[in-house]
Amino acid sequence: MIRSLAITTDFTVLHDVPLKQLLDTNIKWYWVDFHNPSEEEALHLKEHFRFHPLAIEDCFYLLQRPKMDHYENVHFFVMHAMNAKTLAAEEVDMFLGSNFIVTFHLHDSREIEDAWCRLSEQENLRSEGHIYAAYLVLDNLVDQYFPSVYQIEDQLDEIENNVHSESIEVLMNDIFEIRSRLLKLRRTIVPMRDLLYRVINTERLDQLREHLVFFTDIHDHLLKLSEMIESNRDMTADMRDSYISLNSNRMNTIMKTLTVITTIFMPLTFIAGIYGMNFSYMPELEWHWGYFAILLIMIGIGFGMFAWFWKKGWFK
């Protein structure tokens, strides 16, 4: 699907203007949106706009890393939207010319739809030009990152406070799931942060100077998101290390208890083993009180060793 939005010299908005009429002198600037175009519609990128073949190829093949390329008088941007459910990146491409903006996306884009509606309905935005339209698209893309990051922060607070009294094993599964989601977010946000850094520092976008403060604001948002992600990753790492330490300490306690029990029973087993042998000449076997004496000795050894271990603090 191809749709167009044109702003005339008197800042009137025109919708679905044929591509050939967009070159009329009464049109100040325009925006053409390609939404999952057919092969015939996609040919307009080459035949009408005459974009560089490499840029057109990047629109269709694989998921490109966010970047900015310059082709003569057209600037090409690869940006990433985020699927709120899966946190998967979805590519949104944008061509920026002297008086136009062309967006290209194979998936539904709520961010582009919102920017489109704002330009259509708010008259004061039309005079800002096509650079401001590009800002609206970028700003909407970045704003959609925040809910996912805030949701993860809320989940970490619940895990830290353990409001549902979950077992450690369940909490650890949640933490590893959160770390996986943070990694997905990081793969999207950090490259977008680098892209915005290039945009606000480039000298090849002269028209950007008037709106530099807006793009700087987007970069600040991405810096904040990056810091939040790193902070959350550090928090999950601390929780993971605490779990490993707690698990190791619990294992050490169990091993210490088993060692104490084994140590106490070693001399008792030794004594029982000696008097369990089948020799004929064992003087103690003939004693009248031999059984009770050996039993008292074994009890004394057991309690004595228990008292000694207790004094050493092994049961604290």
Residue 316 has pLDDT above 70, yes or no: no
Residue with tokens 């000449």: 281
pLDDT of residue 241: 79
SS3 74: strand
pLDDT digits (tens, 9 = 90+) for 218-271: 999 999 999 999 988 888 888 877 777 777 777 888 888 888 888 888 888 888
For the stretch 178-221, pLDDT in tens is: 888 999 899 999 999 999 998 888 877 777 777 888 889 999 99
- The pLDDT of residue 289 is 80
pTM for the model? 0.76
Between 141 and 247, whose confidence is greater? 141
Residue keyed to tokens 């093949």: 61
Report the pLDDT averaged over residues 29-35. Answer: 90
Those residues whose C-beta lies under 8 Å from the C-beta of residue 128, and which sit 6 or more positions away, are: 211
Predicted confidence (pLDDT) per residue in 110-137, tens digit? 889 898 888 888 877 777 888 888 999 9
Cβ–Cβ < 8 Å for 197, 219: yes
**What is the rounded CA–CA span in Å between residue 144 and residue 107?**
15
pLDDT tier at 164 (50, 70, 90 boundaries)? low
| pLDDT cut 90: percent of the chain above it | 18
Nearest to 66 by CA among 193, 216, 184, 183: 193
Parallel, antiparallel or unpaired: strands 13-15 and 2-8:
antiparallel
Picking from 46, 47, 72, 48, the residue whose alpha carbon sits closest to that of residue 59 is: 46
Predicted confidence at residue 167, as pLDDT, reads: 72
- pLDDT at site 156: 85
pLDDT at position 163: 64
Mean pLDDT over 49-67 rounds to 86
Mean pLDDT for all residues in the chain: 85
